[in-house]
Structure 1
Amino acid sequence: MQTEDLALLSGLKVLIVDDEPGALDVTKRMLSFYQANVIVCLSAAEGLKQLQAHSLDVIVSDIIMPHMDGYQFIQAVRNFSPDKGSDIPAVALSVLSEGEAQVKAIDAGFQKYLCKPIRFATLIGTVAGVAGINPGNARQ
């Protein structure tokens, strides 16, 4: 994927949930570089609150988190009503290798699964893809 269009994610509202401040910051910087509007949360519980407070386009969530993991988080999101965000596309991030963890994430309600560390272009392309943005047809 070519990521030459720095406005590729312009206007896209993305919620990032990750209990690791460093990983949260890196993911935010990557998405913000392509002009996404980013809301960050250090816990799944806070992510659920932000979903109630904002109209969002994409969720990017870590899997391994204390208290409520990413699987539980996305299942809670999918139990919301459509007007509260049950159908928001979501990308799972994890240090767990693909395979069983990927199948579990998709079964739980994520559309895509990415392994950390994430390549910049892969994250941007995946977020654009789940949001329905074609790099050749960037959002206006």
Structure 2
Amino acid sequence: MTNNYEDSHLQDEINNNQSLDGLQILVVDDSDDSLILTTFILETYGMQVTTATSALEALKLIKNQRFDIFIFDIMMPKVDGYSLIRKARQMLLWQKRHTPAIALTSLTAEESYNIALLSGFQGYVPKPVEAGVLIAEITKVLGISPGENGE
């Protein structure tokens, strides 16, 4: 019975967040499973998702494309999410753009949350990713209230 409720609740959330349709999202994660799950959730809500598996790949995409929001994994090899967001912020500063960003991580300590915010993220979502939590964080960092779609 819980699953039916959760499925129905998820569909209600999808209907209530139509204002997310068409948003351009960059998701960066070195874990294929996490990347697939996050992409599936976002595409279910009508967002257009571009993915990268490294910071270097992400920076090339950021240089050449515009995104409405970034979702970066924190724990990546070579260049972590904290460094990636700082580099992205520097790059966007030159272009006079600001793109909200969400840290995606299995780190749950309050200290890692604070480091994420100090590094340039506006939001924080723990792994494993839950659809409701991710969508709520996206609407929060974009300043979209659940009733803004005319419902």
Same-fold call, TM > 0.5?
yes
* Residue type at the aligned position of 1:123: L
For 1:96, which of 97, 100, 107 is the aligned residue? Answer: 107
Q: Which residue of 2 aligns with 1:10?
A: 21
**Pair 1:39-2:50 in alignment:** yes
- 1:51 partner SS: helix
Q: Which residue of 1 aligns with 2:87?
A: 76
Gaps of 5+ in 2: 1-8
Shift of the alpha carbon at 1:83?
A: 6.1
- In the superposition, the TM-score normalised over structure 1's length comes to 0.90
Asked which structure has the greater CA Rg, the reply is 2
Structure with the largest fraction of helix: 2
- 1:28 partner SS: helix
Within 2, Cα distance between the matches of 1:93 and 1:14?
14
Of stretches 35-44 and 1-10 in structure 1, the one that deviates more from structure 2 is 1-10
* CA deviation profile, 1:63-101 (whole Å, cap 9, x unmatched): 000110000000001112446475210000111113111
Give structure 1 regions of 4+ aligned residues with deviation exceeding 4 angstroms.
none
For 2:76, which of 65, 90, 101 is the aligned residue? Answer: 65
* Residue type at the aligned position of 2:35: L
Q: Which residue of 2 aligns with 1:121?
A: 132
Distance 1:8 1:81, change over 3 A: closer
Aligned length: 139
For 1:48, which of 59, 83, 88 is the aligned residue? Answer: 59
**Pair 1:110-2:121 in alignment:** yes
Within 2, Cα distance between the matches of 1:31 and 1:85?
27
Gaps of 5+ in 1: none
* Residue type at the aligned position of 1:60: I
Identity %: 34
Shift of the alpha carbon at 1:114?
A: 1.5
